[in-house]
């Protein structure tokens, strides 16, 4: 994957969520975004996903600039799988039905073909036993794993994960992180927002540190975590170590 961010800006009322955020990454498989809450990580992820429109600047993924008109975004979103921290499963649908929806509505598969694809993904990640359960009967870890399976079922070119473990206890967190590890080992291209520094260190090819709406540092995790250059990253890492 190649990703270029050129002076990306996004404001909400008078608050700058992103302010001239710029960076360039080449030959990238997994990028992890870290930084303090409110620094702009989730906003940037939503812009890359085509779910948020920047006020200015450009985003180029694999040599293709994202066009933010609605017709272009519909096509762009078909190549993106997104996993949110709050699961975003439809509570009135079973796990299987949650997977069928993007296949039939967004991608136009027949119900029979969609069912085959959905059951294959559930089986691949040992989730087939939950196919007929609704979200209310699933644990947090199971919900998030179903949400990841839903993001994968359409065979997206890029998977975006926004704090997928933030609402989970340690045991459930490990379940989800193991699934993300498996995706990475399969060669999937990922952009991940996380507060899990140990996981970021092992899962990322590159880490970008975002604070105050800007990408202040980026580089390989070993380099970034061992020799932070900016006072902001030094302070952030010292707080994370004490958590």
According to the model, what pLDDT value does residue 164 have?
Answer: 85
Contact, 216 vs 233, CB < 8 A?
yes
Mean pLDDT over residues 232-237, rounded? Answer: 95
User: Would you place residue 241 in the very low, low, confident or very high pLDDT band (cuts 50, 70, 90)?
Assistant: low
According to the model, what pLDDT value does residue 184 have?
Answer: 87
Written as one string, the DSSP assignment of 152-209 is HTT--SEEEEESTTTTS-HHHHHHHHHHHHHHHHTT--EEEE-S-HHHHHHH-SEEEE
Residue 55 phi, psi dihedral angles, 5° rounding: -75, -35
User: Would you place residue 171 in the very low, low, confident or very high pLDDT band (cuts 50, 70, 90)?
Assistant: confident
Mean pLDDT over residues 80-101, rounded? Answer: 92
> Angle, to 10 degrees, between the axis of helix 140-152 and the axis of helix 170-185?
20
According to the model, what pLDDT value does residue 179 have?
Answer: 84
pLDDT tens, 189-215? 999 999 888 888 888 999 999 999 999
Contact, 30 vs 203, CB < 8 A?
yes
Contacts of 224 (CB under 8 A, 6+ apart): 207, 209, 217, 218, 233
Token pair belonging to 76: 């762009």
Mean pLDDT over residues 44-67, rounded? Answer: 96
According to the model, what pLDDT value does residue 242 have?
Answer: 60
Q: What is the pTM of this model?
A: 0.91
Domain boundaries, the chain: 90-159
pLDDT of 243 > 70? The answer is: no
Quick one: what percent of the chain has pLDDT higher than 90? 75
């Amino acid at each position: 994957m190649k990703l270029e961010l050129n002076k990306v800006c996004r404001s909400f009322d008078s608050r700058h969520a992103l302010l001239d955020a710029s960076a360039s990454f080449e030959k990238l498989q997994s990028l992890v975004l870290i930084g303090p809450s409110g620094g702009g990580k989730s906003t940037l992820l939503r812009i890359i996903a085509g779910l948020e429109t920047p006020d200015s600047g450009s985003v180029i993924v694999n040599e293709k600039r994202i066009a933010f008109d609605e017709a272009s975004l519909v096509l762009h979103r078909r190549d993106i799988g997104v996993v949110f921290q709050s699961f975003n499963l439809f509570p009135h649908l079973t796990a299987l039905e949650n997977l069928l929806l993007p296949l039939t509505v967004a991608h136009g598969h027949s119900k029979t073909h969609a069912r085959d694809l959905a059951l294959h993904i559930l089986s691949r990640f040992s989730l087939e036993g939950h196919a007929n359960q609704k979200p209310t009967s699933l644990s947090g870890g199971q919900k998030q794993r179903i949400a990841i399976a839903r993001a994968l079922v359409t065979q997206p070119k890029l998977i975006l994960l926004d704090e997928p473990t933030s609402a989970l206890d340690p045991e459930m967190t490990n379940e989800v992180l193991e699934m993300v590890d498996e995706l990475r080992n399969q060669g999937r291209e990922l952009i991940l927002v996380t507060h899990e520094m140990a996981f970021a260190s092992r899962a990322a090819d590159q880490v970008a540190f975002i604070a105050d709406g800007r990408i202040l540092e980026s580089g390989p995790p070993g380099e970034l975590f061992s020799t932070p250059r900016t006072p902001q990253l030094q302070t952030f890492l010292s707080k994370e170590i004490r958590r």
